[in-house]
Amino acid sequence: MNKMIKRILCVVVLVMISATSFGQQLKCKKFKTGTFIIPGDSIVPQSTLKRSKTSQFESISAKDFMDLDITWTDDCNYVLTIKEDTPEEEISEVEKLIEEGGGLRIQMLKTVKDTMYFRAIATIKGTDYPTDGKQIKISKKY
């Protein structure tokens, strides 16, 4: 082999090693079940999530909560929809519009230790409204 081909092969091998060594590996399965918090800010209060493989219970306070169904599209993406037995008067107009758009789609973007960074996408009247956030796992138990 001539020197030019050897150099090209070395560069390709180094690039492949770098890509596999430093690439982000999502550990999505770790975030499928358990208890999580979504940190609050000056506008939105902190919320607590309890997630099983098929449902998620989300609460901001004892009076402000939502029980949701989960449909997993793959290990790192899922859709949240309002449970069918939720009384109509407990569903806000915005939540009804999100339901009409197919539910709230969650994409896991990055995982670091006990934190999962996500993008939530609500489709309302054909327009996507993405919001980024994070969930911190505080317990393996539901």
Q: What is the pLDDT of residues 83-138, one digit of tens each?
A: 999 999 999 999 999 999 999 999 999 999 999 999 999 999 999 999 999 999 99
Q: Determine the Cα–Cα distance for residues 114 and 78; give it in Å rounded to an integer.
A: 19
Residues 6+ apart with CB under 8 A from 38: 46, 47, 48, 49, 133, 134, 135, 136
3-state secondary structure of 26: coil
Q: Determine the Cα–Cα distance for residues 127 and 121; give it in Å rounded to an integer.
A: 10
The answer to whether 127 and 138 have CB atoms below 8 angstroms apart is no
pLDDT score at 82: 95
Segment 5-11 mean pLDDT: 49
Please name the residue that has the structure tokens 């030019």. 4
pTM: 0.78
Residues 6+ apart with CB under 8 A from 82: 66, 67, 68, 69, 91, 95, 99, 103
pLDDT, tens digit, for every residue of 13-67? Answer: 444 444 443 445 679 999 999 999 999 888 888 999 999 999 999 998 767 889 9
